[in-house]
Structure 1
Amino acid sequence: MRGKNKLGNVYLFIVFLILYTPILYLMYYSFNSGGSMRNFEGFTLEWYTEVFQDTRLLIIALNTLIIALLSAAISTILGIIGALAIMYVKKLRTKNTLQTLNNVLIVSPDVIIGASFLIFFTIIGIKLGFTSVLLSHIAFSVPIVVIMVLPKLQEMSSSLIDAARDLGASNWDILSKVILPYITPGIFAGFFMALTYSLDDFAVTFFVTGNGFSTLSVEIYSRARQGISLEINALSTLIFLFTIALVIGYYFINQRNVKSAAAGVRKL
Protein backbone atom coordinates (compact mmCIF):
# COMPACT_ATOMS: atom_id res chain seq x y z
CA MET A 1 0.00 0.00 0.00
CA ARG A 2 2.84 2.38 0.85
CA GLY A 3 4.51 1.53 -2.44
CA LYS A 4 1.36 2.51 -4.33
CA ASN A 5 1.16 5.80 -2.41
CA LYS A 6 4.79 6.60 -3.22
CA LEU A 7 4.22 5.76 -6.88
CA GLY A 8 1.16 8.01 -6.93
CA ASN A 9 3.11 10.86 -5.34
CA VAL A 10 5.90 10.48 -7.90
CA TYR A 11 3.35 10.50 -10.71
CA LEU A 12 1.71 13.68 -9.37
CA PHE A 13 5.11 15.31 -8.98
CA ILE A 14 5.97 14.56 -12.61
CA VAL A 15 2.60 15.88 -13.82
CA PHE A 16 2.94 19.13 -11.89
CA LEU A 17 6.54 19.49 -13.01
CA ILE A 18 5.48 19.22 -16.67
CA LEU A 19 2.65 21.70 -16.12
CA TYR A 20 4.57 24.34 -14.20
CA THR A 21 8.04 24.19 -15.75
CA PRO A 22 7.09 26.35 -18.81
CA ILE A 23 5.42 28.89 -16.51
CA LEU A 24 8.42 29.06 -14.18
CA TYR A 25 10.70 29.34 -17.23
CA LEU A 26 8.65 32.28 -18.49
CA MET A 27 8.66 33.93 -15.06
CA TYR A 28 12.41 33.44 -14.67
CA TYR A 29 13.25 35.25 -17.91
CA SER A 30 10.86 38.12 -17.09
CA PHE A 31 13.70 39.37 -14.86
CA ASN A 32 16.40 39.00 -17.54
CA SER A 33 18.25 42.20 -18.42
CA GLY A 34 19.49 40.62 -21.66
CA GLY A 35 16.20 41.12 -23.48
CA SER A 36 15.91 37.53 -24.70
CA MET A 37 15.00 34.07 -23.42
CA ARG A 38 18.31 32.49 -24.37
CA ASN A 39 20.90 33.70 -21.87
CA PHE A 40 20.16 35.16 -18.47
CA GLU A 41 22.52 38.13 -18.22
CA GLY A 42 21.33 39.75 -15.03
CA PHE A 43 18.40 40.62 -12.78
CA THR A 44 16.21 43.60 -13.70
CA LEU A 45 12.69 44.94 -13.18
CA GLU A 46 12.83 46.89 -16.44
CA TRP A 47 10.15 44.80 -18.15
CA TYR A 48 7.72 45.21 -15.25
CA THR A 49 8.34 48.97 -15.35
CA GLU A 50 7.51 48.96 -19.07
CA VAL A 51 4.28 47.13 -18.37
CA PHE A 52 3.11 49.77 -15.88
CA GLN A 53 4.24 52.60 -18.18
CA ASP A 54 2.31 51.22 -21.15
CA THR A 55 -0.95 53.19 -20.97
CA ARG A 56 -2.64 51.17 -23.70
CA LEU A 57 -1.78 47.92 -21.95
CA LEU A 58 -3.12 49.21 -18.62
CA ILE A 59 -6.42 50.18 -20.29
CA ILE A 60 -6.66 46.72 -21.81
CA ALA A 61 -5.93 45.17 -18.41
CA LEU A 62 -8.70 47.29 -16.87
CA ASN A 63 -11.10 46.23 -19.65
CA THR A 64 -10.22 42.59 -19.02
CA LEU A 65 -10.81 42.92 -15.27
CA ILE A 66 -14.14 44.71 -15.76
CA ILE A 67 -15.31 42.07 -18.25
CA ALA A 68 -14.22 39.27 -15.90
CA LEU A 69 -15.93 40.72 -12.81
CA LEU A 70 -19.16 41.62 -14.62
CA SER A 71 -19.42 38.32 -16.47
CA ALA A 72 -18.60 36.34 -13.30
CA ALA A 73 -21.20 38.21 -11.23
CA ILE A 74 -23.97 37.98 -13.84
CA SER A 75 -23.20 34.37 -14.75
CA THR A 76 -23.20 33.44 -11.05
CA ILE A 77 -26.72 34.83 -10.63
CA LEU A 78 -27.94 33.12 -13.81
CA GLY A 79 -26.11 29.92 -12.86
CA ILE A 80 -27.83 29.78 -9.46
CA ILE A 81 -31.21 30.23 -11.14
CA GLY A 82 -30.31 27.55 -13.69
CA ALA A 83 -29.16 25.09 -11.04
CA LEU A 84 -32.35 25.65 -9.03
CA ALA A 85 -34.43 25.13 -12.17
CA ILE A 86 -32.66 21.86 -12.99
CA MET A 87 -32.84 20.67 -9.38
CA TYR A 88 -36.56 21.21 -8.93
CA VAL A 89 -37.79 20.05 -12.35
CA LYS A 90 -40.19 17.21 -11.66
CA LYS A 91 -39.83 15.26 -14.91
CA LEU A 92 -36.64 13.19 -14.97
CA ARG A 93 -36.37 13.35 -18.77
CA THR A 94 -36.58 17.15 -18.73
CA LYS A 95 -33.98 17.33 -15.96
CA ASN A 96 -31.56 15.09 -17.87
CA THR A 97 -32.11 17.11 -21.04
CA LEU A 98 -31.31 20.38 -19.27
CA GLN A 99 -28.17 18.91 -17.70
CA THR A 100 -27.05 17.59 -21.08
CA LEU A 101 -27.60 20.95 -22.78
CA ASN A 102 -25.65 22.62 -19.98
CA ASN A 103 -22.74 20.19 -20.31
CA VAL A 104 -22.61 20.48 -24.10
CA LEU A 105 -21.46 24.10 -23.83
CA ILE A 106 -18.61 23.06 -21.53
CA VAL A 107 -17.26 20.29 -23.74
CA SER A 108 -17.78 22.13 -27.03
CA PRO A 109 -14.57 23.44 -28.68
CA ASP A 110 -13.95 27.12 -28.00
CA VAL A 111 -13.37 27.78 -31.69
CA ILE A 112 -16.88 26.57 -32.54
CA ILE A 113 -18.41 28.61 -29.70
CA GLY A 114 -16.49 31.71 -30.75
CA ALA A 115 -17.43 31.37 -34.42
CA SER A 116 -21.08 30.78 -33.47
CA PHE A 117 -21.15 33.93 -31.36
CA LEU A 118 -19.51 35.91 -34.16
CA ILE A 119 -22.18 34.81 -36.64
CA PHE A 120 -24.97 35.40 -34.10
CA PHE A 121 -23.84 38.92 -33.17
CA THR A 122 -23.40 39.80 -36.83
CA ILE A 123 -26.91 38.60 -37.70
CA ILE A 124 -28.67 40.46 -34.87
CA GLY A 125 -26.58 43.59 -35.37
CA ILE A 126 -24.57 43.76 -32.14
CA LYS A 127 -21.36 45.70 -32.71
CA LEU A 128 -18.26 43.73 -31.85
CA GLY A 129 -16.58 45.16 -28.78
CA PHE A 130 -17.30 45.41 -25.06
CA THR A 131 -20.92 44.20 -25.29
CA SER A 132 -20.19 41.21 -27.52
CA VAL A 133 -17.26 40.09 -25.34
CA LEU A 134 -19.31 40.47 -22.15
CA LEU A 135 -22.27 38.51 -23.52
CA SER A 136 -20.08 35.70 -24.83
CA HIS A 137 -18.21 35.42 -21.52
CA ILE A 138 -21.49 35.26 -19.63
CA ALA A 139 -22.73 32.56 -21.98
CA PHE A 140 -19.78 30.21 -21.50
CA SER A 141 -19.52 30.96 -17.75
CA VAL A 142 -23.11 30.13 -16.81
CA PRO A 143 -22.71 26.34 -17.39
CA ILE A 144 -19.58 26.38 -15.21
CA VAL A 145 -21.50 27.99 -12.34
CA VAL A 146 -24.33 25.47 -12.77
CA ILE A 147 -21.82 22.61 -12.51
CA MET A 148 -20.43 24.10 -9.28
CA VAL A 149 -23.78 24.87 -7.62
CA LEU A 150 -25.85 21.84 -8.63
CA PRO A 151 -23.91 19.25 -6.54
CA LYS A 152 -24.40 21.37 -3.41
CA LEU A 153 -28.14 21.48 -4.08
CA GLN A 154 -28.18 17.72 -4.54
CA GLU A 155 -26.35 17.25 -1.22
CA MET A 156 -28.90 19.31 0.69
CA SER A 157 -31.47 17.24 2.54
CA SER A 158 -35.10 17.95 1.70
CA SER A 159 -35.85 17.76 5.42
CA LEU A 160 -34.28 21.22 5.83
CA ILE A 161 -36.84 22.74 3.47
CA ASP A 162 -39.68 20.74 5.04
CA ALA A 163 -38.67 21.95 8.50
CA ALA A 164 -38.59 25.54 7.26
CA ARG A 165 -42.07 25.18 5.78
CA ASP A 166 -43.37 23.67 9.04
CA LEU A 167 -42.06 26.75 10.86
CA GLY A 168 -44.04 29.00 8.51
CA ALA A 169 -41.24 30.17 6.22
CA SER A 170 -42.24 31.65 2.88
CA ASN A 171 -40.64 30.60 -0.40
CA TRP A 172 -38.39 33.66 -0.28
CA ASP A 173 -37.34 32.85 3.30
CA ILE A 174 -36.52 29.29 2.29
CA LEU A 175 -34.43 30.51 -0.62
CA SER A 176 -32.61 33.30 1.21
CA LYS A 177 -32.20 31.74 4.67
CA VAL A 178 -31.92 28.01 3.93
CA ILE A 179 -30.92 27.21 0.35
CA LEU A 180 -28.50 30.06 -0.47
CA PRO A 181 -26.52 29.81 2.81
CA TYR A 182 -26.19 26.05 2.31
CA ILE A 183 -24.89 26.31 -1.26
CA THR A 184 -22.60 29.29 -0.55
CA PRO A 185 -19.39 27.23 -1.11
CA GLY A 186 -20.68 26.21 -4.53
CA ILE A 187 -21.59 29.82 -5.33
CA PHE A 188 -18.10 31.04 -4.46
CA ALA A 189 -16.55 28.18 -6.44
CA GLY A 190 -18.68 29.04 -9.46
CA PHE A 191 -17.87 32.75 -9.21
CA PHE A 192 -14.11 32.24 -9.00
CA MET A 193 -14.15 29.62 -11.77
CA ALA A 194 -16.12 31.99 -14.02
CA LEU A 195 -13.73 34.82 -13.13
CA THR A 196 -10.60 32.84 -13.99
CA TYR A 197 -12.13 31.43 -17.19
CA SER A 198 -13.00 34.95 -18.31
CA LEU A 199 -9.52 36.27 -17.51
CA ASP A 200 -7.81 33.42 -19.36
CA ASP A 201 -10.12 33.00 -22.35
CA PHE A 202 -8.59 33.62 -25.76
CA ALA A 203 -10.35 31.54 -28.41
CA VAL A 204 -13.89 32.85 -27.90
CA THR A 205 -12.73 36.40 -27.20
CA PHE A 206 -10.59 36.45 -30.35
CA PHE A 207 -13.70 35.97 -32.49
CA VAL A 208 -15.92 38.58 -30.79
CA THR A 209 -13.53 41.48 -30.19
CA GLY A 210 -13.78 44.46 -32.49
CA ASN A 211 -11.60 47.39 -33.48
CA GLY A 212 -10.69 49.57 -30.51
CA PHE A 213 -11.40 46.93 -27.87
CA SER A 214 -9.20 44.07 -26.72
CA THR A 215 -8.45 41.87 -23.73
CA LEU A 216 -5.13 40.78 -22.30
CA SER A 217 -5.18 37.33 -23.86
CA VAL A 218 -5.80 38.73 -27.35
CA GLU A 219 -3.24 41.51 -26.80
CA ILE A 220 -0.56 39.06 -25.66
CA TYR A 221 -1.21 36.93 -28.73
CA SER A 222 -0.97 39.96 -31.03
CA ARG A 223 2.30 41.11 -29.48
CA ALA A 224 3.80 37.61 -29.48
CA ARG A 225 3.23 37.42 -33.25
CA GLN A 226 5.33 40.55 -33.70
CA GLY A 227 8.28 39.03 -31.87
CA ILE A 228 9.25 37.81 -28.43
CA SER A 229 9.38 40.64 -25.89
CA LEU A 230 10.12 40.12 -22.22
CA GLU A 231 7.37 42.62 -21.50
CA ILE A 232 5.01 39.77 -22.41
CA ASN A 233 6.81 37.59 -19.88
CA ALA A 234 6.35 40.23 -17.21
CA LEU A 235 2.68 40.70 -18.06
CA SER A 236 2.06 36.94 -18.10
CA THR A 237 3.79 36.62 -14.72
CA LEU A 238 1.53 39.28 -13.22
CA ILE A 239 -1.57 37.55 -14.61
CA PHE A 240 -0.41 34.19 -13.24
CA LEU A 241 0.24 35.67 -9.78
CA PHE A 242 -3.16 37.36 -9.83
CA THR A 243 -4.81 34.03 -10.66
CA ILE A 244 -2.90 32.35 -7.82
CA ALA A 245 -4.12 35.09 -5.47
CA LEU A 246 -7.71 34.36 -6.54
CA VAL A 247 -7.27 30.66 -5.83
CA ILE A 248 -5.75 31.36 -2.40
CA GLY A 249 -8.56 33.81 -1.65
CA TYR A 250 -11.17 31.22 -2.59
CA TYR A 251 -9.42 28.64 -0.39
CA PHE A 252 -9.52 30.86 2.70
CA ILE A 253 -13.14 31.88 2.06
CA ASN A 254 -14.10 28.23 1.70
CA GLN A 255 -12.24 27.31 4.89
CA ARG A 256 -14.01 30.08 6.77
CA ASN A 257 -17.40 28.84 5.52
CA VAL A 258 -16.55 25.29 6.61
CA LYS A 259 -15.55 26.48 10.09
CA SER A 260 -18.71 28.58 10.37
CA ALA A 261 -20.85 25.61 9.37
CA ALA A 262 -19.07 23.37 11.89
CA ALA A 263 -19.57 25.97 14.62
CA GLY A 264 -23.27 26.15 13.80
CA VAL A 265 -23.59 22.35 14.03
CA ARG A 266 -21.85 22.32 17.43
CA LYS A 267 -24.27 24.97 18.74
CA LEU A 268 -27.16 22.79 17.67
Structure 2
Amino acid sequence: MAKAMQAREGSRWRGSNVYLIVVFAILYAPIFYLMLYSFNSGGSMHDFQGFTLEWYKEVFADTRLFIIVLNTLVIALLSSALSTILGVFGALAIQQVRRHRHRNALLALNNVLIVSPDVIIGASFLILFTMIGIKLGFVSVLLAHLAFSVPIVVIMVLPKLEEMSPTWIDAARDLGASRLDVLTKVVLPYIRPGIFAGFFMALTYSLDDFAVTFFVTGNGYSTLAVEIYSRARQGISLSINALSTLIFLFTIVLVIGYYFINKRGNRPPGTEVQR
Protein backbone atom coordinates (compact mmCIF):
# COMPACT_ATOMS: atom_id res chain seq x y z
CA MET A 1 0.00 0.00 0.00
CA ALA A 2 2.77 2.39 0.98
CA LYS A 3 4.73 1.56 -2.18
CA ALA A 4 1.66 2.22 -4.31
CA MET A 5 1.13 5.62 -2.68
CA GLN A 6 4.80 6.51 -3.15
CA ALA A 7 4.64 5.49 -6.80
CA ARG A 8 1.51 7.59 -7.28
CA GLU A 9 3.12 10.62 -5.64
CA GLY A 10 6.26 10.11 -7.71
CA SER A 11 4.32 10.00 -10.97
CA ARG A 12 2.34 13.08 -9.95
CA TRP A 13 5.57 14.90 -9.11
CA ARG A 14 7.11 13.96 -12.47
CA GLY A 15 3.96 15.05 -14.28
CA SER A 16 3.97 18.46 -12.60
CA ASN A 17 7.66 18.90 -13.41
CA VAL A 18 7.09 18.07 -17.07
CA TYR A 19 4.23 20.55 -17.18
CA LEU A 20 6.41 23.31 -15.67
CA ILE A 21 9.25 22.55 -18.07
CA VAL A 22 6.89 22.79 -21.05
CA VAL A 23 5.39 26.08 -19.82
CA PHE A 24 8.78 27.69 -19.18
CA ALA A 25 10.10 26.41 -22.52
CA ILE A 26 7.19 28.07 -24.34
CA LEU A 27 7.72 31.33 -22.44
CA TYR A 28 11.50 31.54 -22.77
CA ALA A 29 12.11 29.95 -26.18
CA PRO A 30 11.43 33.19 -28.15
CA ILE A 31 13.73 35.14 -25.81
CA PHE A 32 16.57 32.66 -26.16
CA TYR A 33 16.01 32.54 -29.93
CA LEU A 34 16.35 36.33 -30.03
CA MET A 35 19.48 36.22 -27.84
CA LEU A 36 21.07 33.49 -29.99
CA TYR A 37 20.70 35.46 -33.21
CA SER A 38 22.15 38.59 -31.60
CA PHE A 39 25.48 36.81 -32.16
CA ASN A 40 24.76 35.84 -35.78
CA SER A 41 27.23 37.16 -38.34
CA GLY A 42 24.76 36.48 -41.16
CA GLY A 43 22.63 39.53 -40.44
CA SER A 44 19.29 37.68 -40.51
CA MET A 45 17.02 35.70 -38.21
CA HIS A 46 16.88 32.64 -40.46
CA ASP A 47 20.40 31.35 -41.05
CA PHE A 48 23.00 31.30 -38.27
CA GLN A 49 26.31 31.60 -40.13
CA GLY A 50 28.76 32.27 -37.31
CA PHE A 51 29.49 33.94 -33.98
CA THR A 52 30.13 37.68 -33.88
CA LEU A 53 29.93 40.65 -31.49
CA GLU A 54 29.43 43.11 -34.32
CA TRP A 55 25.86 43.96 -33.33
CA TYR A 56 26.84 44.67 -29.73
CA LYS A 57 29.63 46.95 -30.95
CA GLU A 58 27.08 48.73 -33.12
CA VAL A 59 24.82 49.24 -30.11
CA PHE A 60 27.62 50.66 -27.94
CA ALA A 61 28.86 52.90 -30.78
CA ASP A 62 25.44 54.51 -31.28
CA THR A 63 25.57 57.92 -29.52
CA ARG A 64 21.86 58.59 -29.96
CA LEU A 65 21.06 55.22 -28.42
CA PHE A 66 23.32 56.03 -25.47
CA ILE A 67 21.32 59.23 -24.83
CA ILE A 68 18.08 57.24 -25.02
CA VAL A 69 19.47 54.72 -22.50
CA LEU A 70 20.29 57.59 -20.15
CA ASN A 71 16.77 59.01 -20.61
CA THR A 72 15.28 55.60 -19.80
CA LEU A 73 17.44 55.08 -16.70
CA VAL A 74 16.78 58.60 -15.38
CA ILE A 75 13.02 58.23 -15.86
CA ALA A 76 13.02 54.74 -14.33
CA LEU A 77 15.13 55.60 -11.28
CA LEU A 78 13.45 58.94 -10.60
CA SER A 79 9.91 57.64 -11.06
CA SER A 80 10.68 54.57 -8.93
CA ALA A 81 12.15 56.64 -6.10
CA LEU A 82 9.28 59.15 -6.10
CA SER A 83 6.62 56.45 -6.47
CA THR A 84 8.17 54.51 -3.59
CA ILE A 85 7.91 57.53 -1.30
CA LEU A 86 4.36 58.30 -2.40
CA GLY A 87 3.36 54.64 -2.31
CA VAL A 88 4.65 54.13 1.25
CA PHE A 89 2.69 57.11 2.53
CA GLY A 90 -0.34 55.98 0.54
CA ALA A 91 -0.16 52.49 2.07
CA LEU A 92 0.18 54.03 5.55
CA ALA A 93 -2.87 56.20 4.91
CA ILE A 94 -4.96 53.26 3.67
CA GLN A 95 -3.85 51.13 6.61
CA GLN A 96 -5.05 53.79 9.04
CA VAL A 97 -8.59 53.73 7.64
CA ARG A 98 -10.71 51.76 10.10
CA ARG A 99 -13.92 51.23 8.15
CA HIS A 100 -13.60 48.28 5.79
CA ARG A 101 -15.96 49.87 3.26
CA HIS A 102 -13.82 52.98 2.94
CA ARG A 103 -10.61 50.95 2.87
CA ASN A 104 -11.94 48.69 0.13
CA ALA A 105 -13.00 51.74 -1.85
CA LEU A 106 -9.50 53.22 -1.61
CA LEU A 107 -7.93 49.90 -2.62
CA ALA A 108 -10.29 49.67 -5.58
CA LEU A 109 -9.29 53.16 -6.71
CA ASN A 110 -5.63 52.23 -6.25
CA ASN A 111 -6.04 49.10 -8.36
CA VAL A 112 -7.78 50.85 -11.25
CA LEU A 113 -4.51 51.96 -12.86
CA ILE A 114 -3.06 48.46 -12.45
CA VAL A 115 -5.89 46.58 -14.17
CA SER A 116 -6.75 49.25 -16.75
CA PRO A 117 -5.39 48.71 -20.29
CA ASP A 118 -2.20 50.63 -20.96
CA VAL A 119 -3.62 52.05 -24.19
CA ILE A 120 -6.48 53.70 -22.29
CA ILE A 121 -4.11 55.09 -19.66
CA GLY A 122 -1.73 56.46 -22.28
CA ALA A 123 -4.50 58.04 -24.35
CA SER A 124 -6.03 59.58 -21.21
CA PHE A 125 -2.74 61.15 -20.18
CA LEU A 126 -2.17 62.42 -23.71
CA ILE A 127 -5.55 64.18 -23.66
CA LEU A 128 -4.92 65.53 -20.14
CA PHE A 129 -1.46 66.91 -20.92
CA THR A 130 -2.76 68.49 -24.13
CA MET A 131 -5.66 70.16 -22.30
CA ILE A 132 -3.58 71.62 -19.44
CA GLY A 133 -0.67 72.62 -21.67
CA ILE A 134 2.09 70.28 -20.46
CA LYS A 135 4.65 69.81 -23.22
CA LEU A 136 5.20 66.19 -24.16
CA GLY A 137 8.66 65.05 -23.12
CA PHE A 138 10.50 64.36 -19.90
CA VAL A 139 7.85 65.78 -17.56
CA SER A 140 4.92 64.06 -19.24
CA VAL A 141 6.70 60.67 -19.26
CA LEU A 142 7.70 61.06 -15.61
CA LEU A 143 4.15 61.91 -14.51
CA ALA A 144 2.71 59.00 -16.49
CA HIS A 145 5.20 56.55 -14.99
CA LEU A 146 4.42 57.85 -11.51
CA ALA A 147 0.74 57.22 -12.14
CA PHE A 148 1.13 53.49 -12.76
CA SER A 149 4.09 52.97 -10.38
CA VAL A 150 2.55 54.34 -7.18
CA PRO A 151 -0.29 51.74 -7.07
CA ILE A 152 2.29 48.98 -7.51
CA VAL A 153 4.26 50.20 -4.50
CA VAL A 154 1.05 50.44 -2.43
CA ILE A 155 0.19 46.84 -3.27
CA MET A 156 3.68 45.65 -2.26
CA VAL A 157 3.89 47.65 1.00
CA LEU A 158 0.35 47.24 2.35
CA PRO A 159 0.62 43.47 3.13
CA LYS A 160 3.70 44.12 5.27
CA LEU A 161 1.79 46.79 7.20
CA GLU A 162 -1.12 44.41 7.74
CA GLU A 163 1.33 41.75 8.90
CA MET A 164 2.94 43.96 11.55
CA SER A 165 1.60 43.54 15.08
CA PRO A 166 -0.01 46.75 16.48
CA THR A 167 1.48 45.95 19.89
CA TRP A 168 4.88 47.07 18.58
CA ILE A 169 3.54 50.57 17.96
CA ASP A 170 1.76 50.63 21.32
CA ALA A 171 4.93 49.55 23.10
CA ALA A 172 6.98 52.25 21.35
CA ARG A 173 4.45 54.92 22.32
CA ASP A 174 4.37 53.69 25.92
CA LEU A 175 8.16 54.09 26.00
CA GLY A 176 7.82 57.74 24.97
CA ALA A 177 8.52 57.51 21.24
CA SER A 178 7.13 60.29 19.09
CA ARG A 179 5.17 59.66 15.91
CA LEU A 180 8.29 60.29 13.85
CA ASP A 181 10.28 57.82 15.98
CA VAL A 182 7.56 55.20 15.60
CA LEU A 183 7.59 55.69 11.83
CA THR A 184 11.37 55.71 11.33
CA LYS A 185 12.44 53.19 13.99
CA VAL A 186 9.55 50.71 14.10
CA VAL A 187 7.33 50.84 11.02
CA LEU A 188 9.81 51.55 8.22
CA PRO A 189 12.40 48.95 9.33
CA TYR A 190 9.68 46.29 9.47
CA ILE A 191 8.17 47.06 6.07
CA ARG A 192 11.58 47.53 4.43
CA PRO A 193 11.28 44.32 2.33
CA GLY A 194 7.98 45.59 0.93
CA ILE A 195 9.55 48.97 0.19
CA PHE A 196 12.43 47.40 -1.72
CA ALA A 197 10.02 45.07 -3.51
CA GLY A 198 7.86 48.03 -4.55
CA PHE A 199 10.89 49.99 -5.73
CA PHE A 200 12.23 47.16 -7.89
CA MET A 201 8.78 46.37 -9.29
CA ALA A 202 8.23 50.03 -10.17
CA LEU A 203 11.71 50.17 -11.70
CA THR A 204 11.04 47.09 -13.83
CA TYR A 205 7.66 48.35 -15.00
CA SER A 206 9.13 51.73 -15.89
CA LEU A 207 11.98 50.19 -17.88
CA ASP A 208 9.67 47.84 -19.78
CA ASP A 209 6.70 50.14 -20.37
CA PHE A 210 5.89 50.91 -23.98
CA ALA A 211 2.18 51.58 -24.46
CA VAL A 212 1.81 54.44 -21.97
CA THR A 213 5.19 55.96 -22.84
CA PHE A 214 4.43 55.83 -26.57
CA PHE A 215 1.48 58.20 -26.09
CA VAL A 216 3.23 60.76 -23.89
CA THR A 217 6.65 61.11 -25.57
CA GLY A 218 7.18 64.12 -27.75
CA ASN A 219 9.51 64.93 -30.61
CA GLY A 220 13.16 64.66 -29.65
CA TYR A 221 12.55 62.54 -26.53
CA SER A 222 12.33 58.77 -26.42
CA THR A 223 12.87 55.74 -24.21
CA LEU A 224 14.31 52.33 -25.01
CA ALA A 225 10.96 50.61 -25.45
CA VAL A 226 9.75 53.24 -27.92
CA GLU A 227 13.10 53.24 -29.73
CA ILE A 228 13.10 49.45 -30.15
CA TYR A 229 9.57 49.60 -31.55
CA SER A 230 10.56 52.36 -33.99
CA ARG A 231 13.60 50.42 -35.21
CA ALA A 232 11.65 47.18 -35.53
CA ARG A 233 9.17 48.91 -37.86
CA GLN A 234 12.01 49.89 -40.19
CA GLY A 235 13.03 46.26 -40.76
CA ILE A 236 14.99 43.42 -39.20
CA SER A 237 18.28 44.48 -37.67
CA LEU A 238 20.21 42.26 -35.29
CA SER A 239 21.27 45.34 -33.33
CA ILE A 240 17.70 45.21 -31.97
CA ASN A 241 18.42 41.66 -30.80
CA ALA A 242 21.62 42.79 -29.11
CA LEU A 243 19.86 45.71 -27.43
CA SER A 244 16.98 43.50 -26.29
CA THR A 245 19.45 40.96 -24.91
CA LEU A 246 21.19 43.62 -22.84
CA ILE A 247 17.85 44.84 -21.47
CA PHE A 248 16.81 41.28 -20.62
CA LEU A 249 20.09 40.62 -18.77
CA PHE A 250 19.72 43.90 -16.88
CA THR A 251 16.20 42.88 -15.85
CA ILE A 252 17.52 39.51 -14.66
CA VAL A 253 20.06 41.33 -12.48
CA LEU A 254 17.23 43.39 -10.96
CA VAL A 255 15.19 40.27 -10.24
CA ILE A 256 18.16 38.54 -8.59
CA GLY A 257 18.87 41.64 -6.51
CA TYR A 258 15.24 41.79 -5.40
CA TYR A 259 15.34 38.08 -4.52
CA PHE A 260 18.33 38.43 -2.20
CA ILE A 261 16.99 41.60 -0.58
CA ASN A 262 13.63 39.92 -0.02
CA LYS A 263 15.35 36.82 1.35
CA ARG A 264 17.26 38.91 3.87
CA GLY A 265 14.07 40.71 4.87
CA ASN A 266 11.98 37.57 5.42
CA ARG A 267 13.11 36.89 8.97
CA PRO A 268 11.04 35.93 11.98
CA PRO A 269 9.21 38.87 13.59
CA GLY A 270 11.26 40.48 16.34
CA THR A 271 14.68 39.81 14.82
CA GLU A 272 15.40 43.48 14.22
CA VAL A 273 14.19 44.38 17.68
CA GLN A 274 16.47 41.82 19.34
CA ARG A 275 19.45 43.47 17.70
Q: State the TM-score, normalized to the length of structure 1.
A: 0.96
Partners of 2:47 and 2:188 in 1: how far apart? 54
Q: 2:14 aligns with which of 6, 10, 17?
A: 6
For the aligned residue pairs, the C-alpha RMSD in angstroms reads 1.5
Tell me the amino acid that sits aligned with residue 182 of structure 1.
Y
Whether 1:151 and 2:177 are equivalent positions in the alignment is: no
Q: 2:41 aligns with which of 29, 33, 47?
A: 33
Aligned runs of 1:99-178 on 2, under 5 Å? Answer: 99-178=107-186
Partner of 1:235: 243
Are residues 260 and 52 of structure 1, via their aligned partners in 2, closer, same or farther at CA, if it must alter by over 3 Å? farther
Tell me the amino acid that sits aligned with residue 106 of structure 1.
I
The farther-off stretch of 126-135 and 247-256 is 247-256
Partner of 1:180: 188
Aligned runs of 1:82-101 on 2, under 5 Å? Answer: 82-101=90-109
Are residues 176 and 264 of structure 1, via their aligned partners in 2, closer, same or farther at CA, if it must alter by over 3 Å? closer
User: Gapped runs of 5+ residues in structure 2?
Assistant: 1-8
Partners of 2:268 and 2:40 in 1: how far apart? 46
Partner of 1:205: 213
Deviations 1:126-181 (A, max 9, x none): 00001000000011000000000000000001111111111111111110001100
Tell me the amino acid that sits aligned with residue 150 of structure 2.
V
Whether 1:48 and 2:56 are equivalent positions in the alignment is: yes
Partner of 2:6: none
Partners of 2:255 and 2:136 in 1: how far apart? 31
**Identity rate, percent:** 75
Partner of 1:57: 65
Partners of 1:28 and 1:244 in 2: how far apart? 17
Q: 2:81 aligns with which of 69, 73, 80?
A: 73
Whether 1:196 and 2:215 are equivalent positions in the alignment is: no
| 1:258 to partner: Cα distance | 3.6
Partners of 1:58 and 1:97 in 2: how far apart? 44
| 1:257 to partner: Cα distance | 2.9
| 1:17 to partner: Cα distance | 0.8
| 1:6 to partner: Cα distance | 2.3
User: Gapped runs of 5+ residues in structure 1?
Assistant: none
| 1:259 to partner: Cα distance | 5.7
Partners of 1:86 and 1:55 in 2: how far apart? 45
Partner of 2:5: none
| 1:53 to partner: Cα distance | 0.3
Q: 1:226 aligns with which of 217, 230, 234?
A: 234
Are residues 190 and 211 of structure 1, via their aligned partners in 2, closer, same or farther at CA, if it must alter by over 3 Å? same
| 1:263 to partner: Cα distance | 5.2
Q: State the TM-score, normalized to the length of structure 2.
A: 0.94
Partner of 2:30: 22
Partners of 1:92 and 1:99 in 2: how far apart? 10
Tell me the amino acid that sits aligned with residue 143 of structure 1.
P
Deviations 1:219-268 (A, max 9, x none): 00000000010000000000000000111111122223346978547x47
Partner of 1:246: 254
| Number of residue equivalences | 267
Partners of 1:61 and 1:260 in 2: how far apart? 40
| 1:4 to partner: Cα distance | 2.7
Partners of 2:116 and 2:74 in 1: how far apart? 26
Partners of 2:78 and 2:99 in 1: how far apart? 34
Partners of 1:13 and 1:196 in 2: how far apart? 25
